[in-house]
Amino acid sequence: MNILNTAYRMTHELRTRYRRRRTQSILEGLPSHLRKDIGWPARDFDFDANHCR
């Protein structure tokens, strides 16, 4: 059972990272005035380092 829990946790973590990177990419693809309206940070914000540990 422990191996299955580890595999599930790893799969969940990878899926979460993929979704965050995809979301970041979509948001970065928006025009700058829309990103500013929704409060999305500038490109120098390191999304992965702060959120995917």
**Per-residue pLDDT tens over the stretch 11-45:** 999 999 999 999 999 999 999 899 988 888 765 55
Residue 13 tokens read as 């973590």
Do residues 21 and 48 lie in contact, with contact meaning Cβ atoms separated by under 8 Å?
yes
The structural domains of the chain, with segments of one domain joined by +, span 2-51
Distance CA 44, CA 7 (A): 33
Record the pTM.
Answer: 0.63
